[in-house]
């Protein structure tokens, strides 16, 4: 026994040495076993019991195992946590093996190559990326593959930052690199939690036929590295991989990863989930592949007007044709994940149920085509004509495969009666044999007079006649050969039964293997047609996304935006699609965005919490929606097409470097002003607040001037620095707007309405009051504020920011009065001041009046009333 163990452990070690960075799942009988360090760590991660092999020996070998039937869940758990799993199978029949059973790793499952996804992740893509660098060209060749769908893309990138952006945008969990990649870039990947898989040997044969259309050497190298890794890890047919397609990151609206993160396009910052994101708002797709395509469209909005308008026009037709759209949606619900089915069938792992799913999906295509044909526009006619329903594959499956096929492909019960003559003959033989057995049972009962005599079957003894112990005496011994003795019964065979048995078993065996043969042939035939299925899948997923846009646009009352080349941005009553959803459309206050060709910068002031960031984010989301081809949440929308969006919104730290907020702010500001063009959109939310007031104001002003004079991008800049509002005198392309708020009975009321001009004050202390800070603390803040403001008036703006307790104490009493009035704690009599009661009252009224919300006539009336009051005796 010990010897066998040693031989086995030797074999184990040999294999393990080839996969040092993976958990080796080593197949023994019905289990996958893990040994040594794999076992110790695996037991912990998978919550398995750690045992030991040879536990009596001096150095027992740690071991744990999982049943092979339940292995998938365990493999997924490890891979989801960023580990690799090498699956090592017995590759010969143990019964026939001489010596150790031969074992080989048949697949290396890694985070980027995992394809058995459960339904929760069906709408996610899993991209395995690869990058190589050419020092001569100072360029990167970057490619990625989605193994379950066969999508393969490649591009050239100019900087390490651009590579990081792509990897983050794709949410890749794993990247294949060769030794041209610097440790710096590798470290950055690691910080993002991405698994690095080095691949330094390249076999150009791998997938050479799918990269024939790519002639750039760096691109080919990147693809070769990627495909060599895929070939080495997957060790199975990859015939479904689609020919590589070169893409240009700059043929899309560029949204860098921080902006994508901050704008919550795909993931909610707080929860990391889809809920509360732009994707969440526009996703009413009915198929998993539609869901994945939608995600790609959100990540990559278009920049060519023609392409955007082509999508818009399809959405409009679908929106206008309610019944057809509904029919389409009903058909789409019944379409399974064609892309992943195609992947499974190509991998050679597809079973009969996959084929049935493929068939019932294909069954929907004529219905979908019928609807498209009814949508009588040239665009839909074109789609209708181009959509190949792959009917031959449908027919083949329909003729051959039974509807309720089992999961196993080797146990028969898959092929329909009438499909293959030979198979039908075997099946008849089996059927006859079974009838013969039933007859035999009846005959034997009669002959022996034993009414509970029965004929049974087991794997070891084959068919047998079973008689309970009490009835044994009734048997004529000479006819029966005893084969097995049980506690209560004896089992016998007869030469006649043996002869029939071999006929039945032979027919059964032949039937099974013939069924498998036929099935494999059909699968192979379908495999040849996979590119057509993939093309169909792509068409269907686009239709699904477009119907989702139409459905959402109708439900949420979105309108079709119009594009112009005159840099005119005019959104009337626009809404933030996510905030509106969350708070309910009745409560949301719509706002206009008005920037003509000459307005480059909107300087937004207003109290905290009034809605400045919401207003800015709203614009970014509307731009993205519009350029995806979707309609937008507004009453009307006229807009230019933007080439890039830059944002500095929210307090999110840098995903990679963990730099301080201010550093990140400045880096992002720099990114924007260096790379933005006059066609870009820049959103800066309170830029400069991360440093001292003077520095902050100075930098903010300089950045605004720089954008105004040199960059010319459309820019929204929100700020609490009221000093900046004076810039509109100098900078002709800058316009002040503010988010309105007013005080009512000493309380702050947010209007959430964006109005022309600068805000009159900050209301910071009022917001603090709303947040529930203690009253005496608020009183103190008010007195400090008053001191600042008085100082400003006496000695010029912000002259003395250094405050000492002494310097404020002089003012405290008078200031307290003012604040107490503000917060409605009326304990101090107003007579203490030099003003009369009447005058104080009028003063308070003046203070509370929100000039911005009144028209000139109303102001006149008020002044008239005050004068009247003053003159009253």
Ligand X SMILES: Nc1ncnc2c1ncn2[C@@H]1O[C@H](COP(=O)(O)OP(=O)(O)OP(=O)(O)O)[C@@H](O)[C@H]1O
Q: Which residues contact ligand X by CB under 6 A?
A: 579, 583, 587-589, 591, 606, 608-614, 752
Query: Nearer to ligand X by C-beta: 342 or 602?
Result: 602
CB of 582 or CB of 859, closer to ligand X: 582
Smaller CB distance to ligand X: residue 65 or 590? 590
CA 379 to chain centre: 30
For the CA atoms of 575, 579, 581, 586, the dihedral, rounded to the nearest 10 degrees, stands at -60
Sign, CA torsion 457/461/464/466: negative
Tokens for 292?
Answer: 């994945």
Half-sphere exposure (CA, 13 Å, Cβ side) for 129? 24
Nearest-approach distance from CB 263 to ligand X, in angstroms: 13
Please indicate if the annotation marks 726 as binding a ligand.
no
Using alpha carbons, select from 634, 639, 620, 637 the residue that is nearest to residue 585: 634
Three-class secondary structure of residue 159 per DSSP = coil
CA 579 to chain centre: 20
| Sheet containing 462-468, strands listed edge to edge, beginning at the edge strand earlier in sequence | 454-458, 462-468, 489-493, 481-485
Cα 578 from Cα 278, distance rounded (Å): 7
Q: How far is the CB of 736 from ligand X (least distance, A)?
A: 15
User: Looking at the DSSP assignment, which residues form a beta bridge with residue 154?
Assistant: 143, 246
> Vertex 574, ends 573 and 576: CA angle to 5°?
140
Q: Which residue is nearest to ligand X (CB)?
A: 611
CB-wise, 86 or 622, nearer to ligand X?
Answer: 622
Question: Which are the contacts of 678, defined by CB distance < 8 A and separation ≥ 6?
Answer: 567, 711, 712, 713
Output 335 or 681, the one with its CB closest to ligand X.
Answer: 681
| C-alpha 481, offset from chain centre | 67
Q: 612 among the known binding-site residues?
A: yes
Closest contact distance (angstroms) between CB of 755 and ligand X is 12
What minimum distance in Å lies between the beta carbon of 685 and ligand X? 7
Q: Is 609 annotated as a binding residue?
A: yes
- For ligand X, the closer of residues 358 and 697 by Cβ is 697
In this structure, the number of other CB atoms found within 10 A of the CB of residue 6 comes to 11
Task: Give the HSE-up count for residue 235: Cα atoms under 13 Å, Cβ half-sphere.
Answer: 11
The terminus-to-terminus CA distance of the chain in angstroms comes to 117
In the bound state with ligand X, the residue whose beta carbon lies nearer, of 771 and 810, is: 771
Comparing CB distances to ligand X, the nearer of 539 and 577 is 577
Q: Is 611 annotated as a binding residue?
A: yes
713, 664, 655: which is closest to 691 by C-alpha?
664
Name which of 201, 248, 253 is nearest 228 in CA terms: 201
* Nearest CB to ligand X, comparing residues 337 and 686: 686
Q: Would you say 606 is a known binding-site residue?
A: yes
In the complex, minimum distance from the CB of residue 769 to ligand X, in angstroms, rounded to a whole number:
14
The rounded distance, in Å, linking the Cα atoms of 809 and 787 is 9
Contacts of 128 (CB under 8 A, 6+ apart): 110, 112, 113, 144, 145, 146, 147, 172, 174, 175, 176, 226, 229, 230
267 is in an annotated binding site: no
**310: three-class secondary structure by DSSP:** helix
Which CB sits closer to ligand X, 426 or 750? 750
Answer positive or negative: Cα dihedral of 718, 724, 727, 728: positive
Can you read off the two tokens belonging to residue 330? 């009903």
Looking at the Cβ atoms of 192 and 781, the one nearer to ligand X is 781
Nearer to ligand X, 100 or 755 (CB): 755
Closest CA to 595 of 738, 737, 751, 739: 737
Three-state SS letters, 766-798: HHHHHCCCCHHHHHHHHHHHHHHHHHHHHHCCC
Nearer to ligand X, 768 or 785 (CB): 768
Shortest separation between residue 767's beta carbon and ligand X, angstroms: 7
Annotated binding residue 346: no
**Order of all β-strands in the sheet with 127-134:** 195-198, 174-177, 127-134, 139-146, 151-157, 245-246
Q: What are the Cα distances from residue 408, in Å, to 419, 428, 651? A: 19, 22, 53
Give the Å distances, CA to CA, from 541 to 164, 338, 602, 632.
28, 9, 39, 21
Burial class of residue 479, CB neighbours in 10 A (0-12, 13-18, 19+): middle
Choice between 651 and 825, CB closer to ligand X: 651
- Distance CA(675)–CA(671), nearest Å, equals 6
- Min CB(850)–ligand X separation in Å: 17
The nearest distance, CB 541 to ligand X, in angstroms, is 34
As given in the structure block, the two tokens for residue 126 are 């899993």
C-beta of 764: minimal distance to ligand X in Å? 9
Q: How far is the CB of 593 from ligand X (least distance, A)?
A: 12
CB of 651 to ligand X, least distance (A): 9
CA-based torsion, 369, 375, 380, 385: positive or negative: positive
As a 3-state breakdown, the chain gives helix, strand, coil percent values, each rounded to 5, of 50, 20, 35
Nearest distance from C-beta of residue 612 to ligand X, angstroms: 3
Distances (CA, A) of 797 to 321, 686, 723, 789, 801: 62, 20, 9, 9, 10
Residue whose CB is less far from ligand X, 259 or 610: 610
Closest approach, Cβ 752 to ligand X, in A, equals 4
* Cβ contacts of 297 within 8 Å, gap of 6 or more: 545, 628, 629
71 with 88: CB under 8 angstroms?
A: no
Least distance between ligand X and beta carbon 675 (Å): 25
CB of 567 to ligand X, least distance (A): 25
Q: Which residues are annotated as a binding site for ATP?
A: 606-613
Q: Which residues are annotated as a binding site?
A: 606-613
């Amino acid at each position: 026994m010990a010897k066998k163990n040693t031989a086995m452990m030797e074999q184990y070690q040999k294999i393990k040495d080839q996969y040092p960075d993976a958990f080796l799942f080593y197949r023994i009988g019905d289990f996958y076993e893990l040994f040594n360090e794999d076992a110790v760590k695996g037991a912990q991660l998978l919550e398995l019991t750690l045992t030991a092999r040879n536990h009596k020996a001096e150095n027992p070998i740690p071991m744990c195992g999982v049943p092979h039937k339940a292995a998938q869940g365990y493999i997924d758990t490890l891979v989801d946590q960023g580990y690799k799993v090498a699956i090592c199978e017995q590759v010969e029949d143990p019964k026939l093996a001489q010596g150790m059973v031969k074992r080989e790793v048949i697949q290396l499952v890694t985070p980027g190559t995992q394809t058995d996804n459960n339904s929760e992740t069906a709408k996610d893509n899993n991209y395995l990326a690869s990058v190589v660098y050419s020092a001569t060209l100072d360029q990167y060749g970057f490619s990625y593959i989605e193994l379950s769908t066969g999508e393969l893309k490649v591009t050239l990138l100019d900087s390490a930052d651009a590579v990081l952006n792509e990897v983050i945008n794709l949410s890749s969990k794993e990247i294949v690199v060769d030794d041209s990649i610097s440790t710096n870039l590798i470290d950055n990947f690691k910080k993002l939690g991405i698994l690095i898989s080095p691949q330094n040997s390249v076999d150009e044969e791998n997938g050479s036929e799918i990269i024939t259309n790519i002639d750039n050497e760096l691109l080919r190298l990147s693809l070769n590295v990627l495909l060599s890794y895929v070939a080495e890890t997957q060790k199975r047919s990859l015939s479904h991989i689609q020919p590589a397609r070169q893409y240009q990151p700059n043929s899309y609206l560029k949204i860098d990863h921080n902006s994508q993160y901050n704008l919550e396009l795909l993931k909610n910052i707080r929860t990391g989930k889809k809920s509360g994101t732009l994707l969440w708002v526009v996703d009413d797709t009915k198929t998993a592949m539609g869901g994945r395509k939608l995600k790609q469209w959100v990540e990559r909005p278009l920049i060519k007007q023609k392409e955007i308008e082509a999508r818009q026009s399809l959405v409009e037709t679908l929106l206008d044709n309610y019944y057809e759209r509904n029919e389409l949606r009903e058909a789409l619900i019944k379409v399974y994940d064609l892309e992943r089915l195609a992947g499974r069938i190509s991998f050679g792992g597809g079973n009969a149920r996959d084929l049935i799913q493929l068939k019932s999906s294909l069954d929907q295509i004529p219905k979908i085509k019928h609807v498209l044909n009814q949508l009588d526009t040239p665009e839909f006619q074109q789609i209708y004509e181009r959509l190949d329903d792959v009917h031959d594959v449908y027919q083949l499956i329909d003729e051959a495969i039974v509807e309720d096929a089992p999961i196993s492909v080797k146990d028969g019960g898959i092929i329909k009666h009438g499909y293959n003559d030979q198979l039908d003959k075997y099946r008849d033989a089996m059927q006859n044999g079974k009838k013969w057995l039933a007859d035999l049972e009846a005959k034997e009962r009669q002959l022996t007079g034993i009414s509970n005599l029965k004929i049974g079957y087991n794997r070891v003894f084959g068919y047998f006649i079973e008689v309970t112990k009490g009835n044994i005496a009734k048997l004529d011994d000479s006819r029966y050969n005893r084969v097995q003795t049980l506690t209560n019964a004896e089992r016998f065979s007869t030469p006649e039964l043996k002869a029939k048995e071999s006929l039945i078993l032979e027919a059964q065996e032949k039937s099974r293997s013939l069924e498998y043969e036929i099935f494999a042939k059909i699968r192979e035939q379908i495999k040849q047609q996979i590119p057509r299925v993939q093309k169909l899948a792509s068409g269907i997923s686009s239709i699904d996304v477009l119907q989702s846009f139409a459905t959402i646009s109708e439900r949420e009352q979105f309108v079709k935006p119009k594009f112009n080349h005159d840099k005119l941005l005019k959104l009337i009553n626009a809404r933030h699609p996510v905030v509106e959803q969350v708070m309910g459309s009745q409560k949301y206050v719509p706002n206009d965005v008005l920037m003509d060709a000459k307005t480059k910068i909107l300087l937004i002031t207003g109290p905290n919490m009034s809605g400045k960031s919401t207003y800015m984010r709203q614009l970014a989301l509307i731009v993205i929606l519009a350029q995806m081809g979707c309609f937008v949440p507004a009453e009307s929308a006229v807009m230019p097409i933007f080439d890039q969006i830059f944002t500095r919104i929210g307090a999110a730290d840098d995903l990679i470097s963990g730099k301080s907020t201010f550093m990140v702010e400045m880096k992002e500001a720099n990114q924007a002003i260096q790379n933005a063009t006059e066609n870009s959109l820049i959103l800066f939310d309170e830029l400069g607040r991360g440093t001292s007031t003077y520095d902050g104001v100075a930098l903010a002003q300089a950045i605004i001037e720089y954008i105004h004079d040199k960059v010319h991008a459309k820019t929204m800049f929100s700020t609490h620095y009221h000093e900046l509002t004076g810039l509109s005198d100098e900078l002709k392309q800058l316009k002040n707007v503010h988010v309105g708020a007013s005080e009512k009975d000493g309380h702050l009321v947010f209007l959430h309405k964006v109005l022309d001009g600068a805000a009159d004050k900050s209301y910071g202390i009022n917001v603090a009051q709303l947040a529930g800070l203690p009253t005496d603390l608020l009183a103190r803040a008010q007195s400090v504020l008053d001191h600042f403001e008085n100082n400003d008036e006496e000695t010029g703006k912000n002259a003395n920011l250094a405050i000492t307790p002494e310097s404020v104490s002089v003012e405290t009493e008078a200031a307290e009065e003012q604040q107490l009035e503000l917060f409605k704690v009326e304990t101090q009599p107003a007579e203490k001041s030099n003003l009369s009661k009447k005058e104080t009252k009028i003063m308070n009224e003046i203070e509370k009046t929100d000039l911005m919300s009144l028209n000139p006539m109303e102001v006149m009336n008020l002044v008239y009333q005050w004068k009247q009051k003053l003159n009253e005796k």
